[in-house]
Structure 1
C-alpha cells in the first residue's frame, strides 16, 4: 500500500485525502452523535456532562468550519507525500504486526505531546484569536472536533511530519494517526460521560476533562491522556465548571417555577 501511495499523482493524493478525512469525520461524528443523544441515554449508560443548550446555529457553524478543516487536512496530504517523493522520508514495506503495533503506540504518545504543545500555544496572547472559533462551542458536540480556524487546523494537522523524517514508519502506522486522533477527539467533544464510575484521572474520563476545558477555557490542554497536564501543572480540578453549571440549573429552576 505504501508503494501505491507514493505512485499517486499530487492531485490524486489530495482527492484521496479529501475523501478520507471527510469520510471519517462524517462516520465518527454521526455515530458518536447517535450514541450520545439516542442509544446510550435510552440504555441508561452514562449521562451528558454539560446540561446547557447549544448556541443558536452551532451545529451549522461547526459543520461549515469543519468542511474547511477537511479541505486543509485532505489537500495537506501533499506534504507527507512530498517528503516521500523528495527522499526525505521512507516507508517500511512488509512491516510485522508487532512493529506496526509499537509504531502506533509511539505515535499515540507523540500525538498527545504534539497536541499539548500546539494547544498551549493556541492559548497564548499571540495565537489566541486563531483558537477562539473552536471555543465558540462552549457546550461541545462530536462535530466540534474539526471546527477550527485554518491556522489551528494547520498547526494540529502536521503531526506526522516530524516522525516521518526521524523514522521509517509503515504506511498503516501513519494512516492510523488521523483515525485514532479523530476517534479520541469525537469522544472528548461528545459532552458525555461514558464511564461515570472511573476516576477523573482515568484514560476513559477524557470527555470529562475536555468538557471542562471548553467550559472554563483554560487548563486541561492534553488530548487523551493526562501526563502533559500533570507535568506542566495545567490540569483543572474535576469540579472546575461547577459554578457555571449550578448557576444555569438555578436559573432554569426559577424559570420553570415562574407563573
Structure 2
C-alpha cells in the first residue's frame, strides 16, 4: 500500500486524501451520534454533559467549517507524499507486527503532545482569532470535531511531519494516526460521558474535560490524556461550568459536576 501511495501523482493523492478524510469525518460522526444519542441513553449507561440545546445554525456552521478542513487535510497529503517522493522521509519495509504496534503507540503519544502544544498556542492573544471559529460551538457536537479555521486545520494537520523526518514509520502506523486522531476528537466532542461513574476518571473523562474547555474556554488544552494539563497547571475544576450552564437553562445545580 505504501508503494502504491508513493507511485501516485499529486492530483490522485489529493483526491484520495479528500475522500479518505470525508469518510473518516462522516463515519465517526454518525457512529458518535448513534452511540451518544441512541444506544447508550437507551441502556442507561452514561449521561449527557451540557444540556443546552444545539441550534440548526450551529450545525450548519460546523459542517461548512468541517468541509473546509477536510479539503485542507486531504490536499495537505501532498506534503508527506512529497517528503517520501523526495527521499526526505521513508517507509519501513515489511516491519514485524510488534514494530507497527510500538510505532502506533509512539504516534499516539506524539499526537497528544502535538495537540496540546498547538492548542495552547491557539489560545494565545496573537493566535486566538484563528481558534474563535471552533469556540463558537459552546456546546460541542460530533460535527464540531473538524470545525476549524483554515490556519488551525493546517496546524493540526501537520502532526505526521516531524515524526516522518525522524524515523521511517510503517505505512500502517502512519495511516492509523488520522483514524486515532478523529476517534479521540469525537470522544472529546460527543458531549456525553460514557461511564457509570460521574465524574469519570482517566481516558473516560476526556469528554467531560473537553466539554469544560468549550464551556469555559481557558484550560483543559489536552485531549485524551490529562497529563500535560496537570504538568502545566491548566486543569479546569469540575464545577467550573455549572453557573454558566444554569444561567442558560434556568436550573440551579447541573449534572455536570455531580
Q: Is TM more than 0.5 here?
A: yes
Cα distance, 1:106 vs structure 2: 0.4
Cα distance, 1:216 vs structure 2: 0.1
Deviations 1:68-112 (A, max 9, x none): 000000000000000001110000011111000000000000001
Deviations 1:109-158 (A, max 9, x none): 00010000000010000010000000000001000000000000000000
Distance 1:248 1:11 in 2: 48
Q: How does 1:124-139 map to 2 (within 5 A)?
A: 124-139=124-139
The residue number in structure 1 matching 2:256 is none
1:19 matches 2:19: yes
Distance 1:198 1:174 in 2: 35
SS of aligned partner of 1:50: coil
Distance 1:151 1:114 in 2: 15
Provide the TM-score with structure 2 as the length reference. Answer: 0.95
Distance 1:56 1:123 in 2: 27
The residue number in structure 2 matching 1:204 is 204
Q: How does 1:222-237 map to 2 (within 5 A)?
A: 222-237=222-237
Q: How many residues align?
A: 252
Q: How does 1:1-259 map to 2 (within 5 A)?
A: 1-197=1-197, 200-249=200-249, 251=250
Deviations 1:163-204 (A, max 9, x none): 000000000000001101000100100000111416554111
Distance 1:218 1:196 in 2: 27
Contact 1:200 1:209 in 2 (8 A): no
SS of aligned partner of 1:109: helix
Distance 2:147 2:169 in 1: 29
Contact 2:40 2:46 in 1 (8 A): yes
Distance 1:46 1:200 in 2: 9
Contact 1:212 1:240 in 2 (8 A): yes
Distance 1:31 1:150 in 2: 25
Deviations 1:212-240 (A, max 9, x none): 00000000000110111111111111111
Distance 2:251 2:234 in 1: 32
Contact 2:193 2:200 in 1 (8 A): no
Unaligned runs of 5+ in 1: 254-259
SS of aligned partner of 1:51: coil
